[in-house]
Structure 1
């Protein structure tokens, strides 16, 4: 468990480092609100779709394609989404419900979940985690588009407008575009892959710097009650019920372990970028990311200790 704690810190500490860089750069006025707006738009419309595209293109579908596991994760994600949305209706001002809901169900599977799965289960964890991350990103972005559009001050919420919002989402386009390449094993030229990776590698630093550049003590104080509520759902209740459901459905060993790590991942940085793009409360989104990332160091290790003690992973 000490080794796992060290691994978790190795993954979450760089996230906090980049957040702090964003705070520092804003304080010394090397970045400003205009930079955050432009960089967030670049991440949402270009670098993050490229990152998702490359992640799916390079995944080993033949080894890790497990319809039952993917189906369960999709169902559990939908269940967590509905739980979070229902709780948000009870607990939140109307204008914050979309951001609250997104923060409570959308995990950082592509970075933290995948890294921990690979650390624990090697090549199997990498293959299964990569396919799982690619599949659920489609669900995350579709569900996030719906709930953010319903409460957005700038987007329409009728069925046709919601459908267009989903289909026009650059993150969803990146995932859908990659599926034929991965399924039919279509190889891109080496130079295109290299250039794509150069471009995609800007995603996390830019997104985290933008989050840090948005954070302030005033915004954290103003968002604290809602951020803690959303974070509690994301780090405690959603992983608990989802992992319990997976156990009852018969998942054991590495499959159950990977599912838990994905359910227990902190809120994705993409939630900040998407909230900002949809006109939501991006300061609340930033606070949720910070709180859940910090909490993951404790909750992930406690959850794994319980599962290992029970002999089910």
Structure 2
């Protein structure tokens, strides 16, 4: 129990510190955005680079985890969208709820938790989650948002969108560069290893601080029953789906633990961002705040059940 507390407490305390810093006006929204750009464009890519480049290729890609986690994420997206449509929600909000249920906050919350639980291999699982999100979840979201507005994007347009996501995502770009060293084609210079590890170490606390800062100003407004349904989908159904799909894929104990821990975290913060852009800021920000607060329960349960790994 004490070990679990030492994993959870620093994560949520850093989130609280970020929230309090914004409340006290220590930072402006523009400064927080600048911090976010550093985390996403420099810190996270270097974190993935460090995890892959410093390991043999056999340890970098875990197919059972990738296929199982991807199947569960896609299934959760469709179920979240379908249930929202059955409840009569606007097609655009239903598409966003699919994102909320099917895509976890892997980088800013899931990775720090897993890092403290299993060590540096956490970045390998994070990298595979990024592949799932870029290749599957984002294309699904864009397609459903287009359909919700009466658009009829063809397969070629969707393929171009996927390619664009891959070519402009610094985290994705870092993967093939790192694989050059993981495959042994080139020796990893000592200065590059130290630089990437330094930036990776700085990224985790900054990401959690930023999550807290972004939560400041949010409130639980709107249709609370619908928000609770999104929370149940993200914090109950999604972990159950991930656990089932990973088990069916033949994942080992550590893979199962990693997938469940990622699935138990809140939805990606892009949920509220896209919601605001599409006119559903109140509903999405309220649901995100609710899920973030409640997420401590499934996170605690996953850590408790996975104490053999921890």
TM normalised by structure 1 equals 0.73
The 10-residue stretch of structure 1 (161-170 or 267-276) with the greater mean CA deviation from structure 2: 267-276
Q: Mark the CA change 1:277 to 1:169 in structure 2 (over 3 Å): closer, same or farther.
A: farther
Aligned pairs for 1:56-67 within 5 A? 56-62=52-58, 66-67=62-63
Q: Give me the whole-angstrom Cα distance separating, in 1, the residues matched to 2:249 and 2:199.
A: 40
1:229-248: CA deviation from partner (whole Å, max 9, x where unpaired): 33322321122233234445
2:117: which partner in 1?
116
Q: Give me the whole-angstrom Cα distance separating, in 2, the residues matched to 1:136 and 1:294.
A: 21
Q: Report how far residue 139 of structure 1 moved.
A: 1.0
Q: Give me the whole-angstrom Cα distance separating, in 2, the residues matched to 1:203 and 1:285.
A: 26
Checking the alignment, whether the CA contact within 8 Å between 1:32 and 1:213 is kept in structure 2 is no
Checking the alignment, whether the CA contact within 8 Å between 1:61 and 1:182 is kept in structure 2 is yes
Q: Give me the whole-angstrom Cα distance separating, in 1, the residues matched to 2:94 and 2:204.
A: 25
Matched, 1:145 2:138: yes
Unpaired segments of 5 or more residues in structure 2? none
Unpaired segments of 5 or more residues in structure 1? 119-125, 309-313
Matched, 1:53 2:55: no
For 1:35, which of 31, 35, 44 is the aligned residue? 31
Q: Give me the whole-angstrom Cα distance separating, in 1, the residues matched to 2:224 and 2:289.
A: 7
How many residue pairs get matched?
289
Q: Give me the whole-angstrom Cα distance separating, in 2, the residues matched to 1:224 and 1:148.
A: 23
RMSD over aligned Cα atoms:
3.8
Q: Give me the whole-angstrom Cα distance separating, in 1, the residues matched to 2:205 and 2:224.
A: 25
Q: Give me the whole-angstrom Cα distance separating, in 2, the residues matched to 1:230 and 1:102.
A: 10
Aligned pairs for 1:192-211 within 5 A? 192-211=192-211
2:255: which partner in 1?
258
Aligned pairs for 1:1-313 within 5 A? 2=1, 6-62=2-58, 66-90=62-86, 92-97=89-94, 99-107=96-104, 108=106, 109-117=110-118, 131-150=124-143, 151=145, 158-167=157-166, 168-184=168-184, 186-216=186-216, 218-222=218-222, 227-248=227-248, 255-256=252-253, 258-266=255-263, 271-272=268-269, 276=273, 279=277, 283=285, 286-287=288-289, 290-291=292-293, 293-301=295-303, 304=306
Q: Give me the whole-angstrom Cα distance separating, in 1, the residues matched to 2:158 and 2:227.
A: 29
Checking the alignment, whether the CA contact within 8 Å between 1:23 and 1:213 is kept in structure 2 is yes
1:21-58: CA deviation from partner (whole Å, max 9, x where unpaired): 11111122111111122222222222222212222223
Q: Report how far residue 138 of structure 1 moved.
A: 0.9
TM normalised by structure 2 equals 0.73
Q: Mark the CA change 1:56 to 1:250 in structure 2 (over 3 Å): closer, same or farther.
A: closer
1:95-128: CA deviation from partner (whole Å, max 9, x where unpaired): 444553333233435332354346xxxxxxx65x
The 10-residue stretch of structure 1 (273-282 or 231-240) with the greater mean CA deviation from structure 2: 273-282
